[in-house]
Structure 1
Amino acid sequence: MSATTETHPWHVAAATLADAGCDVVVGLPSDEPGLMDAARTVPGLRVLGVRDQRAGACAAIGHATVSGRPAVLAVNSGPSFANALTGLLEASSLGAPVVVVTTRVPALGIGRGGFQHTDQAAMAGPLAKWSFLVEDPRQLTWALRRAVHLAVNGAPGVVLVEIADEVLRAPAPEPRPAPPVRRLRFAADAEEVRRAAALLAEARLPVVVAGGGCKPAGAGAAVRRLAELLGAPVFTTAAGRGVLDEEHPLACGLVGLYTTPPADRLLADADVVLAIGSRLEETARMGWDGLDEKRLVHVDVDPAVFLTALEPEVALLGDAALVADQLAAALEISPPAATEAGAARRAEIAAVREEMRARHTPAATDGPELTVSEALRLLQRSVTRDATLVQENGLHDMWGYHHPVVSVGDRARVITPGEQTMVGFGLPAAVGAALADRSRRTVLVCGDGAFEMGLAALPTAAELNLGLTVLVLDNRGYGWPRFVRAEEEAPDELTRFTAPSHTDAAVRALGGRTARCTTVAELAAALDDAAKAHAEGRTTVITVPVRDDDVPVGVRRVFDTAPATGADA
């Protein structure tokens, strides 16, 4: 019985996932035809073949983030599953809706040295919201629909469905057409909303922090309305970037490690913090003076988030958009008084934004030295503020998290690692993101070490003619460990690459373009060529050598490191 036969369990699985609302299956082909083969015959599903399961998990994150729909990761028992775990760790950290479908070895081999047997549910236990072993064909459709339901509802995340080998060798009941799984939305308790609104209305300097949970809720307009009623500065987490256009008069960039001075003054002076759709992880709290003493209103769809990092004075359990609208409606009934203090607050926000721009907007220059911030200015000018921006884990690429060095529009798609910040996330995530929306440019900013770690995704980008634009900030090694070791006056030889990697040759061998730029003129020309290559579906990798001391302003602020000459250019 072929995997594409309508009663074959793999075909039933693919059809069920499509009906439930999934639109992509990512993975490597298995020895025998499996889920990927079946998915190719099911309308509404596309198949993304990758070279590495770790890359596949990251591509699933990128696709789900841009499409707004759950992505399916198809793996097999044993090393195939284990190889995906690093990416699934990041998916869990980000709250990305990824449905993992894997196989289980024949029952007779369990406990008797069965080939590639491992306890997959135990391995994924800390990462998965739910896992289930399908041991009867009659469970298959139910298990997959429940998996999709759990992946997108509550706090989105990773779910695992194992299918026993015996199930795959028996006919499955033909699935009946069913509607897509709905994302369930609920509002917060009305009395708690009134308490929160009263607290916010009385605040001297309220601050709004919008996290990644605002995006699946579509909370951008509601957050903007609420901030405007409060006259409050809006910061985002890395995952929340793009919720509010960063050119909005109340937008003050990112929070925590990525805060651009002098916006940290607003965070330090705040008396009430309204956090919406954020777990307030460590990077969001870094360098935030006095945060523990501030009054917190915390909005989230997951009750487990509350009291994780900080204890809220008011916890509002509900959908980010609905709760923000509830708060706005309550404030419109009893609005904050139009006082001199409120006018002074708006003036202070405007002054902070102006000083941020004066201190940190890269100046157009034809000088001999190309700084990271200048390179990012040229990149953004080329691709516009509404492109899909994919970021990595590293030192120099953190400049890209800083507004106004990079300014993100509310139509942009921004994809970042989560709190785990795995290295090598960016390139495969960019592949998934670009496939999900070919109508816009997809750009990746990364270091040379991260680019090399993600190289397995490069052939997939070439096969699919995705036309990525990659800016590699080359410090010949691993910048973040080198920076930390310098702070501790420790040896850094192991953080430096001593042999050329010749990744440019690999890019060109796959039909892409490369350039190495040390001046503004060279980079401007390379970006013009990249735009043409994008139109042709060809990937462009542009390498810019960078200095060790060209350290992002947020890192310098948190670690109290003196700026290098020209680093704020």
Structure 2
Amino acid sequence: MPRTTAADVLADGVHRAGAARVFLAPGAPAFLRDAVARRGLATLDAPDVTDACVMAAVTGELGDVPGVVLATLDDVAALSPGLTLAARDRAPLLLLTPPHADVALLAPIVKASLIVEPASAGHWIAHAANLAMTGPRGPVHVACAASVAGAAALPVATACRPAPLPPPAGAGLDALGARLSATRPLIVTGLECGGDDARWVRAFAESLPAPVLATPKGRGTLAEPHPLALGLLDGSHPLLVATDLVLLIGVDASELPPGVLPATARVARIGRAPWPEGGPTLSADIVGEITLVIEELAPHVKARPSADWDVAALDRLKRAAVAEALTAPGARLVRIVREATPAGTIATADVPLGLAWQAVAPRETLTPLGGHAPPGYAIVAAVAAQLADADRRVVAFTSPLGLAAGAGAVALATDRALPIVIVVLGPEGDEQAFTRALARGLALARPVVIGAGD
């Protein structure tokens, strides 16, 4: 019977955390590569370490699993953009490397750096996976020396995924239920909302009834064509002035730029992660599974009178927002792509999309939080999204500079025959020619680049 090594235990832990693919940065240590291969995990050689981290971050964001990267710490500066993206976007990620003297440089952008020994390999990989997946999610570093990786280790049946959140306390439900007596409640959805939450949020919004705004990461929780979906959260949005309760659902504090909520606003929250000190003051806060909390609030919703929003005014706001969205540069081309692609299409972007792209489910629109991303993000993210789900259409929206920066990812997509569509936005040309080029591109079983002037 083959001997089990510490590297085998790490690879098994990664597998039990739910990861199906490992992204390999150039120079990834052979002793870790061999271990993941023995465990049967798929691997992908990334063009560089930044791309490896971006693809792992997108994998973690799309699925309920950590993205995994094998790399070295020889160039921490090259690691930083991808890890920073994962930290900012709350994407669960495991970075496995050999130890290095510069490991302290990772401290600002990882949740922890853990050192593995043969006797503790099972414990530490389970702890790393749990920490990466526990809100607020983010990257965790695991260091394993070659001498340790080859040493005999005992597999340990440790849990590599976080336990379910406890049910909400009655006192918290009562406090939030009392806040729902507001006459003009406004819901804001954020990055913690997943596919299972969407139908509950919709039913909740319709029952109150309450209009819904979304952060860039919360788009699609309520399908954007829905009459109550009133656009993106912005400090100048007129609903923020009219509301007497802002209810954050699945919103991370990092999604709220300073001053985006009025200083006088009464704010309550339903979320999966603890609210940090320094965030907006909450009048009520429940940490738990979003679906379960909404279900438990049903008696409070039934007992209250309907909200007092002017339905006609909300309809005018929605129509105006959609019309304004189509005046932005490139917006008409974005709308053409949206109308030509099926529901469930994933859009990745490092250029503004606005409401020209109508998201109909959570995590269909992948944009970096705050608009800050490594060069070429849209194309790299599209490759990762297509690898994560081969059956979904994936479209990347970028600029000429983004296309140049993503050349390595384009080559990778070509080598793997990934049918991503790359739309390069710029000065708009003939819309009919663009539509014809798009139709041809959508029919191909390989990556295609379509320019605004096509």
- TM-score, shorter chain, exceeding 0.5: yes
Counterpart residue number, 2:109? 127
Q: What is the RMSD of the two structures over their aligned residues, measured on CA atoms?
A: 2.6
Structure 2 residue matching 1:299: 3-state secondary structure: strand
CA distance in 2, matches of 1:411, 1:241: 6
CA distance in 1, matches of 2:163, 2:412: 31
Counterpart residue number, 1:300? 271
TM-score by length of 1: 0.74
Structure 1: gaps (5+ residues): 105-116, 363-369, 476-516, 547-569
Q: CA deviation at 1:371?
A: 5.0
| 1:73 equivalenced with 2:73 (yes/no) | no
| 1:193 equivalenced with 2:166 (yes/no) | no
CA distance in 2, matches of 1:352, 1:389: 25
| 1:93 equivalenced with 2:93 (yes/no) | no
| 1:453 equivalenced with 2:453 (yes/no) | no
Please give the residue correspondences for 1:158-557 in structure 2 after superposition, counting only pairs within 5 Å.
158-173=139-154, 175=155, 181-201=161-181, 203-215=182-194, 218-256=196-234, 264-281=237-254, 288=260, 291-303=262-274, 305-332=275-302, 334-335=303-304, 337-338=305-306, 342=308, 344-361=309-326, 371-392=329-350, 397-398=351-352, 400=353, 402-403=354-355, 405-410=356-361, 413-419=364-370, 421-424=372-375, 425-474=377-426, 518-533=429-444, 536=445, 538-544=446-452
Amino acid at match of 2:273: D
- The percentage of counterpart residues that share the same residue type is 25
In 2 relative to 1, CA 237–6 (structure 1 residues): closer, same or farther, beyond 3 Å? Answer: farther
CA distance in 1, matches of 2:189, 2:167: 17
Q: CA deviation at 1:212?
A: 0.3
CA distance in 2, matches of 1:459, 1:172: 39
- Number of residue pairs matched by the alignment: 452
Q: CA deviation at 1:294?
A: 0.5
Counterpart residue number, 2:42? 46
Amino acid at match of 1:417: P
TM-score by length of 2: 0.91
Q: CA deviation at 1:345?
A: 2.9
Counterpart residue number, 2:126? 145
Amino acid at match of 1:433: A
In 2 relative to 1, CA 420–164 (structure 1 residues): closer, same or farther, beyond 3 Å? Answer: farther
Structure 2 residue matching 1:39: 3-state secondary structure: helix
Check conservation: 1:90, 1:419, Cα contact below 8 A. no
In 2 relative to 1, CA 40–524 (structure 1 residues): closer, same or farther, beyond 3 Å? Answer: same
Q: CA deviation at 1:25?
A: 0.8
In 2 relative to 1, CA 208–73 (structure 1 residues): closer, same or farther, beyond 3 Å? Answer: same
Of structures 1 and 2, the larger Rg is shown by 1
CA distance in 1, matches of 2:405, 2:299: 48
Check conservation: 2:49, 2:71, Cα contact below 8 A. yes
Amino acid at match of 1:447: S
Check conservation: 1:62, 1:431, Cα contact below 8 A. no
Check conservation: 1:93, 1:420, Cα contact below 8 A. no
Amino acid at match of 1:133: I
Structure 2: gaps (5+ residues): none
CA distance in 1, matches of 2:24, 2:419: 21
Structure 2 residue matching 1:34: 3-state secondary structure: helix
Check conservation: 2:213, 2:231, Cα contact below 8 A. yes
Match 2:11 to one of 9, 14, 38: 14
In 2 relative to 1, CA 55–32 (structure 1 residues): closer, same or farther, beyond 3 Å? Answer: closer
Counterpart residue number, 1:555? none
Q: CA deviation at 1:193?
A: 1.8
- 1:101-151 CA-partner distances (Å, limit 9, x unpaired): 1111xxxxxxxxxxxx4331x2221222222111x2111111111111111
CA distance in 1, matches of 2:110, 2:291: 26
- 1:58-107 CA-partner distances (Å, limit 9, x unpaired): 1011222223211111111322x542221111101111110111111xxx
CA distance in 2, matches of 1:82, 1:434: 27
Q: CA deviation at 1:431?
A: 1.2
In 2 relative to 1, CA 226–196 (structure 1 residues): closer, same or farther, beyond 3 Å? Answer: same
- 1:358-413 CA-partner distances (Å, limit 9, x unpaired): 44457xxxxxxx95111111111222342011121xxxx21x1x22x221112762
Structure 1 residue matching 2:293: 3-state secondary structure: helix
| 1:83 equivalenced with 2:78 (yes/no) | yes
